[in-house]
Chain A
Amino acid sequence: MTKEIEHVIEVEHLTKRYGALLAVNDLSFTVRRGEVFAFLGANGAGKTTTVEIIETIRTPTSGKVCLFGLDVTKKKREFIHRIGVLPQGFNSFDRITVRETLQYYARLFGCRNADLDGLIALADLKDKTHEQFHKLSGGLKQRLGIAVALVNDPEVVFLDEPTTGLDPHARREVWAVLLDLKNKGKTIFLTTHYMEEAEFLADRVAILSKGRIVALDSPGHLTESHANYLVLTLQAVEERASEIIRKMGFAPVQDNHRNIKVRLERADDVQKILNAIQASGATFRGLDVRKPNLEEVFLSLTGEAGREDHAGGWGAE
C-alpha cells in the first residue's frame, strides 16, 4: 500500500506495436505522487502512444501499467474519475459553448459543484464563455482543453503537449497554472517538444527516442551528467574572430546575428580564446559562458532534432 502512495504511475516493460512498427519499446518507469514528470521527445518518439496507454485510450501490446496501483487495462472504472486528461490536439463538440463544454464534462464526472467559472477564469476564457467551440482560435481551444482536464479536480493530470500552438504569453500563463497545480499536490504528467518547458516545470524528465527512454533524471542532473562541457557565446563579434577560433582547433558556430558559439571541454579554454581574440584586435559586444541546457543534452542524447524551430541552434532561449 505504501507503494501506491509513493508511485501513482508504474510502467513495466511496456511495448506497443502498430503492425511492424515498434512505437514503444520496453519502457519502464515510475511517477511519484506530487511530481511533475515530463516526456521529452521528437515527433514520433512514442510520447502520445505511451501516455494514451496509461490513460486507457490505447491498449498495450505487452507489459504492465498501473495507475494508483490498479492495472489500467482491467480497473479503468476504479480510477478514471481520479485522472484528468488533455489529449494531443484537443477537440470538442463544434456547436457547444465554452461553458457548456465544461458543464458537459462536469456532468460526465458527476461533479455537481464543479467551479466552472473558476476554471474559465483559470483558462483565461472569461470573454469567450458563450462562444461556440468551432469559433475559438487554436490556442483558446487548447486552453479550454486544459480547463476540461481539471473539471473533476483530478489527482493526476495528463497533458499531451499542453502549450503547443500557444503564444509566448499564453504559454507562460499555462506554466503558472501548472505550477499552481503542483503546489496543490497534484501529480502532472507532461509531454512536450519544448526543452525550456520541461526545464522550467518538470521535477524529472524522461528523454524519449524511438520508443525508448534514453535518459531519465531531473533537468539539473541531466545537464550535469550528460553534458560536461561549456558553451561560450560571443555576441556581435567581428567576422575574423571565427577564423581565429577555428585555427585554435575548436568548432565555432556562427548565427546570422553575428553571434559565435563554441563548445569547450575545459574551463581554461575560455581564457585562451579571449586572449587570442584580444591579441588580434577583433571586438565583440558581450560574452556568455554557461553549462549546456536541456536542449543541447537532448540533441546529443537523441542525435536528432527536437523541433524544427530549435534544430541547429544552440541554446535558443
Chain B
Amino acid sequence: MNLRVIGANLVVDIKSFYREKTAVFFRIAFPVILILVFGTIFMDKDDLSFDLCVQDLDQTKSSAQLVQTLTGSDRFKITTIAPDLNAAQYAKDHKLNLILGIPAGFEKSLMQKMIIADPDASFALTVVYDPSASAVTTKMQVLDAMLAVANQKLSGKPPFLHLVKTSILAKKYRFIEFFIPGIIAMAVMTSCLFGAVNVNAELRQKGVLRKLATTPITHTDWILSNILYQFLLAALATVVILLVSYAVFHVRLQINAWLPVFVVLDVFAFVGFGMILTRVAREAESAAAAANAFMFPMMFLSGTFFPVEMMPGFLQKFARILPLYYVNEGLRASMVSADNTAALGYAAVIGVFAAVVFVLGIMTTTLNEDRT
C-alpha cells in the first residue's frame, strides 16, 4: 500500500467528481430531490387532518358545542357554511367532497333524551358527500368513530370492549422517517455501482488502465483508492441527506454506530458487485446497462420507497434475496426502531454478501489488458 499513490488517485477522483455536473446531480442532488418530493407528498398523510365543512341548521348552544367538539379533536379542520344555503349545491360549486349537516331540532331532541332518559331516542345528522372522491371513506370512518365517542359520553356508560394500543416501534414514526434510511441505502448503492462500473469499464475501454499498468501503481492501491473515494462520496451523500431531512422535515432518527457500519457494508457490497459486472460485461455501455438492470428492480422491490410488507407474498420472498433489502432493513432497525438485535442480524447477512462479492471483485479486476 502506497499512501502517496492513493492520495494522487483521490485528488483526481475528487476533482473529476466536482467538475462533472451530472455526477454531482445524480449522486447528491437526486436523492435530496427524492426526499423533498416524497416527503412533501406524504407529509399530509402523517398529520391525518381533514377538511370538514359543517352546516348548522339548528343554530343552538348544543349544536355549537357539537361543532366545537369536532374542532377540538384536531382530526378536522372545520369550516362552517350559512344555514340558508343548499348544501348539495354548495358542495358542487366549491368542490367539497363532504358536508356534515346538523338539522334543526337537534337541541330539542337532545334535551328530550337527557330529561326523559329515553333509551330509544335518536337523532339523525346528515352527510352530503361525493362518493367519487377518494378521501371521503376515510373521512366518514373518522367521523363515525368520533360520533361513537360522543354517543358513549352521552349515555354515560364506559364501553365494555376497548383496545389498548402498544406500538412495536419505540415511538410513532412518520413516513419520512421510514423513507430516509431507504434513500441513504439507495444513494450509496447507485453511487458505488456506477462508480465501480465507470472506473473499471470506461477507463479500461479508453486505455487509461493500460497506461496505469506501466506505472508503479499496484492493483491493491488502485482498488483501495476507489473504495476510499466511494466512502467519501457515500459519507457526503449520507450527511447531505440527513441534513436536509432534519432541516426540512424535522425527522427524529437514531444516529448511532450502526449508520456508518451499514454505509460501509453498502459500499463494499456494491463496489464489489460493480467490479464483477464490469468483468462480465466488458464494454462500458453494456456494463452500465447491466448495472441499471440490477439497480431498478432492487430499488423498487427491496423496500426503498415503501415497506416490503405491502407487496404480494412472492415478491416479499423475492425481496429477501436482494442485498439492498438487508441494508434498508438494517438501517431502519437502527435508525427508526433502535433495535440492535435486528440490526445485527441484517448486518451479518449484508456483511457476508459484501465480503464474498468484494473478494470476487478484487479477483476479477486487473489493470492489465488480458489475463491469458
Please report A residues at the B interface, Cβ cutoff 8 Å: 17-18, 52, 55-59, 61, 77, 80-81, 83, 85, 87-96, 100, 104-105, 107-110, 132, 148, 158
Residues of A within 8 A of B370 (CB): 58-59
Residues of B within 8 A of A58 (CB): 368-370
Given contacts A87-B210, A107-B5, contact A59 B215 (CB under 8 A): no
CA separation between A83 and B368, bound complex, in Å? 17
CA separation between A107 and B208, bound complex, in Å? 16
Residues of A within 8 A of B211 (CB): 85, 87, 90-92, 148
Chain A residue with Cβ nearest B371: A59
For the complex, is B15 an interface residue (Cβ under 8 Å from A)?
yes
Residues of B within 8 A of A109 (CB): 215-216
Residues of A within 8 A of B134 (CB): none
Contact partner, A92, options B5, B208, B217, Cβ 8 Å: B208
Residues of A within 8 A of B15 (CB): 95-96, 100
Contact call A104/B12, Cβ cutoff below 8 A: yes
Residues of B within 8 A of A57 (CB): 210, 213-214, 368-369
Residues of B within 8 A of A89 (CB): 207
CA separation between A80 and B216, bound complex, in Å? 6
Contact partner, B213, options A17, A56, A105, A158, Cβ 8 Å: A56
Closest 10 CB pairs of A and B: A107-B8, A85-B214, A95-B19, A91-B206, A95-B16, A108-B215, A91-B207, A57-B213, A58-B369, A55-B214
Given contacts A61-B372, A77-B216, contact A93 B16 (CB under 8 A): yes
The secondary-structure label for the interface of chain B is helix
Interface residues of B in 342-372 (CB under 8 A from A): 368-372
For the complex, is B11 an interface residue (Cβ under 8 Å from A)?
yes
Residues of B within 8 A of A87 (CB): 207, 210-211, 214
Contact partner, B207, options A80, A90, A107, A148, Cβ 8 Å: A90
CA separation between A284 and B12, bound complex, in Å? 63
For the complex, is B72 an interface residue (Cβ under 8 Å from A)?
no
Question: Can you list 13 residue pairs at the A/B interface with Cβ under 8 Å?
Answer: A57-B213, A57-B369, A59-B372, A80-B214, A88-B207, A91-B206, A91-B211, A93-B16, A95-B16, A95-B19, A107-B4, A107-B8, A109-B216
Contact call B206/A83, Cβ cutoff below 8 A: no
For the complex, is B84 an interface residue (Cβ under 8 Å from A)?
no
Chain A residue with Cβ nearest B205: A91
Please report B residues at the A interface, Cβ cutoff 8 Å: 4-5, 7-8, 11-12, 15-16, 19-20, 203, 206-208, 210-217, 368-372
Contact call A96/B12, Cβ cutoff below 8 A: yes
Contact call B8/A132, Cβ cutoff below 8 A: no
Residues of A within 8 A of B203 (CB): 93
- How many cross-chain pairs have Cβ atoms below 8 Å apart between A and B? 81
Chain A residue with Cβ nearest B372: A59
Contact call B368/A80, Cβ cutoff below 8 A: no
Contact call A100/B12, Cβ cutoff below 8 A: yes
Smallest CB–CB gap between B23 and chain A, Å? 9
Residues of A within 8 A of B215 (CB): 80, 105, 108-109
Smallest CB–CB gap between A111 and chain B, Å? 11
Contact call A52/B5, Cβ cutoff below 8 A: no
CA separation between A148 and B215, bound complex, in Å? 11
Residues of A within 8 A of B16 (CB): 93-96
Contact call B369/A52, Cβ cutoff below 8 A: yes
Chain B residue with Cβ nearest A106: B8
Most chain B beta carbons < 10 A, residue from A57, A85, A96? A57
Smallest CB–CB gap between B66 and chain A, Å? 68
Smallest CB–CB gap between B54 and chain A, Å? 63
CA separation between A108 and B215, bound complex, in Å? 7
Chain A residue with Cβ nearest B221: A108
Contact partner, B208, options A17, A91, A100, Cβ 8 Å: A91
Chain B residue with Cβ nearest A154: B214
Residues of B within 8 A of A81 (CB): 216
Chain A residue with Cβ nearest B208: A91
Smallest CB–CB gap between A278 and chain B, Å? 58
Contact call B368/A110, Cβ cutoff below 8 A: no
Smallest CB–CB gap between A82 and chain B, Å? 11
Residues of A within 8 A of B217 (CB): 108
Residues of B within 8 A of A148 (CB): 211
Contact call A108/B5, Cβ cutoff below 8 A: yes
CA separation between A94 and B213, bound complex, in Å? 19
Residues of A within 8 A of B210 (CB): 52, 57, 87
Residues of B within 8 A of A61 (CB): 372
Contact call A93/B216, Cβ cutoff below 8 A: no
Residues of A within 8 A of B208 (CB): 91-93
Smallest CB–CB gap between A194 and chain B, Å? 21
Contact call A108/B8, Cβ cutoff below 8 A: yes
CA separation between A85 and B207, bound complex, in Å? 12
Residues of B within 8 A of A55 (CB): 213-214
Residues of A within 8 A of B213 (CB): 55-57
Smallest CB–CB gap between A217 and chain B, Å? 28
Chain B residue with Cβ nearest A148: B211
CA separation between A52 and B15, bound complex, in Å? 30
Given contacts A91-B208, A104-B12, A107-B4, contact A56 B214 (CB under 8 A): yes
Smallest CB–CB gap between B334 and chain A, Å? 37
Given contacts A58-B368, A85-B214, A87-B211, contact A93 B12 (CB under 8 A): yes
Residues of A within 8 A of B11 (CB): 100, 104
Question: Beyond A56-B213, A91-B207, A108-B215: 18 further Cβ-contacts under 8 Å?
Answer: A17-B372, A52-B210, A55-B214, A57-B210, A57-B368, A59-B371, A80-B215, A81-B216, A88-B207, A92-B208, A94-B16, A96-B12, A100-B11, A104-B8, A104-B11, A104-B12, A105-B215, A107-B8
Smallest CB–CB gap between B201 and chain A, Å? 14
Chain B residue with Cβ nearest A105: B215
Most chain B beta carbons < 10 A, residue from A61, A105, A158? A105
Chain B residue with Cβ nearest A151: B215
Residues of A within 8 A of B7 (CB): 107
CA separation between A52 and B210, bound complex, in Å? 9
CA separation between A187 and B359, bound complex, in Å? 40
Most chain B beta carbons < 10 A, residue from A85, A105, A107? A107
